[in-house]
Structure 1
Amino acid sequence: MTLEYRWLYDTVRKRFESDEAMEAFLPTALTPQELKQKGDDRYLSAMSQRVFQAGMQHSMVDAKWPEFEKAFSGFAPGQMALLGPQQIEDHMKNDRIIRDRTKLQTIPKNARFILDIRQERGCGFGEFIAGWPGADTVGLWRLLAQRGARLGGRSAAGFLRLAGKDTFLLTSDVVARLMAAGIIDHAPTSQRDMQIVQDAFNRLQQDSGRLLCQLSAMLSLSINPGF
């Protein structure tokens, strides 16, 4: 089955008083050029922030993030890749950050991941992210899960959203709408399931010209008006 963009637009538009109000509500993403201009330290910071958000209140993590920036010297990957067990233990004594040893240990791992991409691709991590086609968003999720530390599940999309890369999110409401439309019959987990979802988003994007992040927000709003 298919999910028609015209129906989706009309359903969501009813939630708002005007076109302008709806457009102002929908999320946006950075342009490829803006992604390229961001330093690799900003991508490591976003990765780390997403890792700490998993299973925790995002607002609490976000409130503490300036202290993380201070503690980890701005998340420069070259410096962070050198963090060893003793440095991690030192950070465990810092009561201004969230002292989760397992999550702290992802910082040097993800720093090395970023440095590896730089070496392999001959470009900054931002250029690598910017160049990845939206039509294969799930492929980027898979790469992040395989090569990054604790970037599986929803964390890959969550990181990309924090970093400003256009991506859809598979929230419970988005999955519910896809199921109601008959596109999937269960929460997607396998590569085949994910490709079916990707194909559905690609069709919506071709029909609308909208960002993936806006389309996933609209799918969510079509189920949950409170969003």
Structure 2
Amino acid sequence: MALDYRWLHDTVRNRFDSDDAMEAFLPRPLASDKLKQLGDDRYLSAMSLRVFRAGMKHSVVDAKWPAFEEAFWGFDPEVMVLLTPEQIDGYMNNDRIIRHRTKLQTIPRNAQFILDIRQEQGTSFGEFIADWPSADIIGLWRLLARRGARLGGRSAAGFLRLIGKDTFLLTGDVVARLVAAGVVDQPPTSQRELQQVQEAFNELQQASGRPLCQLSAMLSLTINPRF
């Protein structure tokens, strides 16, 4: 069973007083050229922020992030890749940051990931992310999970949303609509199920011209109006 964009649009539109109100509510991805202009330090910072947010109240992590930026010298990958186990031990004494050793250890590992992509592709990490096609965003999720540190599960999509790369999110409400529409029978975890979800989003995108992040938000609003 396919999702019908006209039904999706009309259902969500009924939640708002006007077209302008609906459009103002929906998220917007960062333009490709803006993603390319972001320094690789911003990508490492966002990766790290997503890692620390996992399992924690986001506002608590966000409030401490300026201290992280200072403690980790702005997250320059070429500097962070050189962090030693002894230096990580030293950060465990810094009460201005969140002292979680396993998560701290992901910083040099993800710095190496970024540097490896730069070397392999001959471009900045931002160019690599910007050029990845939205029609295969789950392929980018898979790469982040396989080669990044603690970027599996929802963290890959969460990281991409943080930096502004267009992606859908598999929140509970989005999954509920996908199940109700017959796209999948259960919360998607297998590659086959995720491919079915990707194809459903691709069809919605072709019918609407909207970015994935907006379609994701619209699907969510059909379950939870948030008003």
Counterpart CA distance in 2 for 1:58 and 1:28 is 21
The Cα offsets for residues 181-227 of structure 1, whole Å up to 9 and x where unpaired, read as 01111010010000000000000000000010000000000100118
**1:153 paired residue number:** 153
Number of aligned residues: 227
Judge which range, 60-69 or 197-206, deviates more: 60-69
Counterpart CA distance in 2 for 1:177 and 1:224 is 10
The Cα offsets for residues 101-132 of structure 1, whole Å up to 9 and x where unpaired, read as 00000000000000000000000000000000
The aligned amino acid for 1:93 is N
Counterpart CA distance in 2 for 1:208 and 1:62 is 34
**2:55 paired residue number:** 55
Q: How many angstroms does 1:54 deviate by?
A: 0.4
Note the 1:126-165 alignment, pairs <5 A: 126-165=126-165
The Cα offsets for residues 120-166 of structure 1, whole Å up to 9 and x where unpaired, read as 00000000000000000000000000000000000000000001100
Note the 1:2-81 alignment, pairs <5 A: 2-81=2-81
Counterpart CA distance in 2 for 1:7 and 1:59 is 35
The aligned amino acid for 1:216 is S
Note the 1:172-187 alignment, pairs <5 A: 172-187=172-187
The Cα offsets for residues 71-129 of structure 1, whole Å up to 9 and x where unpaired, read as 00000000000001111011111111110000000000000000000000000000000
TM-score, normalization by structure 1: 0.99
The aligned amino acid for 2:64 is K
TM-score, normalization by structure 2: 0.99
The aligned amino acid for 1:53 is R
Q: How many angstroms does 1:63 deviate by?
A: 1.1
Tell me how large the CA RMSD over aligned residues is: 0.7
Counterpart CA distance in 1 for 2:148 and 2:53 is 16
Instruction: Please state whether the residue corresponding to 2:222 is helix, strand or coil.
Output: helix
Q: How many angstroms does 1:59 deviate by?
A: 1.1
* Unaligned stretches of 5+ residues in structure 2: none
Instruction: Please state whether the residue corresponding to 2:115 is helix, strand or coil.
Output: helix
Matched-pair identity in %: 75
**1:202 paired residue number:** 202
Q: How many angstroms does 1:34 deviate by?
A: 0.4
The Cα offsets for residues 46-67 of structure 1, whole Å up to 9 and x where unpaired, read as 0000000000011111111111
**1:124 paired residue number:** 124
Counterpart CA distance in 2 for 1:9 and 1:26 is 12
**1:107 paired residue number:** 107
**1:190 paired residue number:** 190
The aligned amino acid for 1:171 is T
Counterpart CA distance in 1 for 2:126 and 2:62 is 22
Q: How many angstroms does 1:2 deviate by?
A: 0.3
Instruction: Please state whether the residue corresponding to 2:99 is helix, strand or coil.
Output: coil
Counterpart CA distance in 1 for 2:163 and 2:22 is 23
Instruction: Please state whether the residue corresponding to 1:36 is helix, strand or coil.
Output: helix
Counterpart CA distance in 2 for 1:114 and 1:138 is 19
**2:98 paired residue number:** 98
**1:83 paired residue number:** 83
Instruction: Please state whether the residue corresponding to 1:223 is helix, strand or coil.
Output: coil
Give 4+ residue runs of structure 1 displaced > 2 Å after superposition: none
The Cα offsets for residues 12-38 of structure 1, whole Å up to 9 and x where unpaired, read as 011111111111111111111000000
Counterpart CA distance in 2 for 1:124 and 1:221 is 36
Counterpart CA distance in 1 for 2:150 and 2:34 is 26
